[in-house]
Structure 1
């Protein structure tokens, strides 16, 4: 699967460690949405699909269909509101669960919803 960074490659390994994985889609769609800041386009890093979700992965914020954004902690810290707005648009318009993973969450196994 094509990835844009080592962090995304680590994320694929992270997804694969959890039982029930059915599919991983890289850059699965581009969403156009409007908010107080204007009109935007957003292409998430991954859409991950599980046929069943264990309690461990539910605790991380995943559901059967989950949009995942991969960011280094330093990039996320620069503009966390932008990431939050993008993922809120995904939840509002498409109904998917959303999770942000940084190198910290990939290392500890704790994701940000």
Structure 2
């Protein structure tokens, strides 16, 4: 089997049916992968360490009942030009509110990015969704993330799912 067919097989796993964007699998210049989850029917696709860490963190947020990666795309207008945007995550909370999440490294946020996020936020407000930008500064400490990863791995191996959480937090 040649190298390209191996990549095709791996790439088919990364291109989930529910994903709106079709992105290249990892290369030596970026990091991507799949995170296991109990809050979706498919693993979460991530494109950075920060995205993988947030996906893990969302697993432990008791008020979040569903998490989707790259769930949909919306259009927004920027200087009379129609643009498309696909968020990194959508979170559905026990009270049925929806939060749309963009994950960025703090050093990647400049005036232009802030302006774009403002326009995207206004587009989501029209839909009744909250839009937030999260950075590495919003993550718990590395040790806490490591502990979460171990707990999730054990929960998945034992197939432990707690559907009672929303009833207690509602």
Q: Please indicate, yes or no, whether the TM-score normalized by the shorter chain is above 0.5.
A: yes
Are 1:66 and 1:96, in contact at CA under 8 Å, matched by a contact in 2?
A: yes
Shift of 1:77: 2.7
Counterpart among 84, 104, 107 of residue 74 in structure 1: 107
Counterpart among 73, 98, 121 of residue 65 in structure 1: 98
Shift of 1:9: 0.7
Residue matched to 1:104: 137
Relative to its length, the structure with more strand (as a share) is 1
Where has structure 1 moved over 4 Å in runs of 4 or more? none
Structure with bigger gyration radius? 2
Counterpart among 114, 123, 128 of residue 95 in structure 1: 128
Residue matched to 1:60: none
Distance 1:74 1:88 in 2: 23
RMSD: 2.0
Shift of 1:17: 2.4
How many residues are treated as equivalent by the alignment? Answer: 97
Q: Structure 1, unaligned stretches of length 5 or more?
A: 53-62, 109-113
Q: Structure 2, unaligned stretches of length 5 or more?
A: 1-43, 142-170
2:55 matched to 1:12? yes
Shift of 1:29: 0.6
Higher mean C-alpha displacement, 94-103 vs 17-26: 17-26
Residue matched to 2:64: 21
Residue matched to 2:153: none
Give the TM-score taking structure 1 as reference length: 0.75
Distance 1:104 1:70 in 2: 11
Greater relative CO (CA pairs within 8 A, separation 6+): 1
Distance 1:81 1:48, change over 3 A: same
Give the TM-score taking structure 2 as reference length: 0.51
- Give the SS at the match of 2:71: coil
Measured against aligned partners, the alpha-carbon deviations of 1:28-62 in whole angstroms (never above 9, x if no partner) come to 1111122435211111111011214xxxxxxxxxx
